[in-house]
Amino acid sequence: MHTTTATTNGDSTHVNGVNGTAKHPHTNGHHLNGDSIPKSTPTHNATANGHHHQPRARKDSSPLAPPFIVSAPGKTIVYGEHAVVHGKAAIAAAISLRSYFLVTTLSKSQRTVSLRFTDIGLDHTWNIADLPWKAFANPARKKRYYDLVTSLDRELVEAMQPHIMGVGKGEESPEKVKVRQAAASAFLYLFLSLGSERSPGCEYAMRSTIPIAAGLGSSASVSVCISAALLIQCRALAGPHPDQQGKEAEEQLERINRWAFVAEMLIHGNPSGVDNTVSTNGHAVLFQRKDYAKPPSVSVMRDFPELPLLLVDTCVQKSTATEVAKVAALKGLHPTVVENCLDAIDSITRSVYERITSEDFESDSPEGIQHLGELMGINHGLLTSLGVSHPRLERLRYLVDQSGVGWTKLTGAGGGGCAITLLRPDVATSTTNGDAAELNGEPGTHNTSYSTPLERLTQQLHDEGFKKYQTTLGGDGVGVLYPAVIGEEEIDLEMFLTAEGREGVEELVGGGRDREAWKFWRP
Ligand SMILES: Nc1ncnc2c1ncn2[C@@H]1O[C@H](COP(=O)(O)OP(=O)(O)O)[C@@H](O)[C@H]1O
Ligand SMILES: C[C@@](O)(CCOP(=O)(O)O)CC(=O)O
């Protein structure tokens, strides 16, 4: 298997961003070929310990930038959630559910920035001039796009508060307000860090096909989108383009990932960084962060096997912060016991990594799958011991165990959310069309005679209010559609905001219509 290890931002000497100058009737004179992101700021040396050479000053763009879309996948943690928060290894894989972020630049006279995050009912506008630029520009606190930011600056978070307090307020529940304010804070902190008072007025619209708070990394994917879009706007990224050198592509991803982590800190408090790392890089990653002041160790597993997985949502929303705090509290009470549980999870992750990166691993061999499956079961048991399961997750595990189709573990923070089931190879290959139709959260045609255990299980899950998702593992990470044109059609804000449900969004902007239109950094 091909793996790449990337631990810190390296040096780059190649800057191949292409100015969008060619004329096109639909795009304010910007080229339709996805290589037309404005030229990036020259990349420069930046190291993990913060030493860097000063970059050259950036020029302001004069023509109105075209609308563009950034997209990033959700994830499933296959092994090692929670342990990863305490410095142990985890394996996470990208899934095919994604978030999409449309950026529309306003005319020069419109000095506002608006968030239209319709999935969470957030529609908010700030006057650019009213924002706390002074606090963020203070030389003692100012962070640059190439900095490694590993903690939030409390004073800057405070300075932002008056502009967040009014966000998302309505008649609805405090939980909904919290969700909106978390997303708005993530955006605003990055906007104020990466932009300036001269930043163009813009509308930023988010649509996602990832269920929120189900353990599938919706926040990380949103964070990666925000980071990549704002870095593109401040011209801190080169590419993506097809002839980009691997090392340069890796550096661009690293830059996006660093700021996505900052956004994750605003949503979660204390994230390990595994979610934003897999969402940025795509494929699958072995991830470990021993020291929060340093970049994590990341091995990207580019040809992660297509494991036959079933992804089931308990439909119980959870809070990652609460579940992470539970484990921390338990560790405070029983340090040795909890540390042993976390070490056991670490051994599981490492054993799986060795197995699937070994030359002779075959993803359809019953022995190989059995090994991975048994370790999934043990990993789930350890997470249950740490107190992060939920009666619905245990019910789900019981139903899958009874059916004999495979091995189940919770994925993500637990306390609700999703579980993954690794199917036995014989079960996976006997999946009928009926099963396939019933994936993606919808029940299929209801006949009462089921020929396979998987069909029986599918019906049982549906009857008990669980939701199945169809997804493939290990696709591309962050991608860019610049300008926002697929085929000959320019995607505008109205179309983007009114696309109906997951299918509508995917049909409008997903890669299905024109695979070549989207560009990805591919080291
Ligand atoms: N479609 C979306 N639009 C805007 N913000 C979103 C969207 N999906 C998720 N978020 C942000 O991410 C947060 C969810 O994070 P979290 O509870 O960790 O769930 P998950 O396990 O899905 O990452 C939300 O509170 C919201 O701030
Ligand atoms: C529990 C944890 O390991 C994973 C959380 O994933 P999610 O937020 O449930 O998608 C926390 C983390 O790694 O930051």
CA atoms within 13 A on the CB side of 203: 18
Around Cβ 350, how many Cβ atoms within 10 Å? 17
pLDDT band for 450, please (50, 70, 90 cuts). low
DSSP structure class, residue 40? P
Helix boundaries (H) for 44-173: 133-137, 154-164
Q: Which of 185, 218, 226, 316 to mutate to test the pocket of ligand 1 (most atoms within 8 A of CB)?
A: 218
Domain ranges of the chain: 65-301+473-520, 309-469
Cα–Cα distance, 203 to 114 (Å, whole number): 5
Q: Which of 275, 289, 386, 420 to mutate to test the pocket of ligand 2 (most atoms within 8 A of CB)?
A: 275
Q: Which residue CA neighbors atom 11 of ligand 1 most closely? A: 219
Q: Which of 212, 225, 320, 497 to mutate to test the pocket of ligand 1 (most atoms within 8 A of CB)?
A: 212
Q: Answer for the pair 15, 238: CB distance below 8 angstroms, yes or no.
A: yes
Query: Percent helix, strand, coil in the chain (nearest 5)?
Result: 40, 20, 45
Atom of ligand 1 nearest to the CA of 320: 18
Helix boundaries (H) for 132-291: 133-137, 154-164, 174-194, 218-233, 246-268, 274-281
Find all residues with CB under 8 Å of 114, minimum gap 6, and list them: 123, 124, 125, 126, 202, 203, 204
More confident residue, 346 or 430: 346
Asked if the model's pLDDT at residue 433 lies above 50, the reply is no
Give pLDDT tens digits for 393-408.
999 999 999 999 999 9
The encoded tokens of residue 308 equal: 């036959």
First CA to last CA distance, the chain:
15
Q: Is the CB of 274 under 6 A from ligand 1?
A: no
Cα–Cα distance, 497 to 507 (Å, whole number): 13
Q: Answer for the pair 137, 97: CB distance below 8 angstroms, yes or no.
A: no
Q: Is the CB of 352 under 6 A from ligand 1?
A: no
Question: Domain 65-301+473-520 falls in which CATH fold?
Answer: Ribosomal Protein S5; domain 2 (3.30.230)
Percentage, residues of the chain above pLDDT 90: 66
| Burial readout 213-247 (b: 16 or more C-beta within 10 A, e: otherwise) | bbbbbbbbbbbbbbbbbbbbbbbbbbbbbeebeee
Q: Is the CB of 412 under 6 A from ligand 1?
A: yes
Find all residues with CB under 8 Å of 460, minimum gap 6, and list them: 399, 403
| 416 CA to centre of ligand 2 in angstroms | 12
Q: Is the CB of 82 under 6 A from ligand 2?
A: yes
Atom of ligand 1 nearest to the CA of 412: 21
Ligand nearest to the CA of 72: 1
Whose tokens are 């996006």? That residue is: 256
More confident residue, 139 or 223: 223
CATH architecture type of domain 309-469: 2-Layer Sandwich (3.30)
Lowest mean pLDDT among 107-116, 130-139, 143-152, 269-278: 143-152
- Mean pLDDT for 191-214 is 95
Q: What is the pLDDT of residue 62?
A: 57
The ipTM is 0.96
Q: Tell which residue, 261, 35, 226, 228, has the closest CA to residue 148.
A: 261
Provide Rg for the chain, Cα atoms: 23
Q: Which residue CA neighbors atom 6 of ligand 2 most closely? A: 412
Beta bridge partners of 480: 70, 519
Cα–Cα distance, 37 to 68 (Å, whole number): 9
Q: Answer for the pair 329, 70: CB distance below 8 angstroms, yes or no.
A: no
| 197 CA to centre of ligand 1 in angstroms | 28
Catalytic residues: 275
| 164 CA to centre of ligand 2 in angstroms | 24
Q: What is the pLDDT of residue 27?
A: 38
| 80 CA to centre of ligand 2 in angstroms | 10
Lowest mean pLDDT among 206-210, 261-265, 494-498, 501-505: 501-505
Name the maximum alpha-carbon separation found in the chain.
Answer: 70
- Mean pLDDT for 42-57 is 40
SS3 state at 31: coil
- Taking the CA atoms of 484, 490, 492 and 498 in sequence, report the sign of the dihedral they define: negative
Q: What is the pLDDT of residue 510?
A: 85
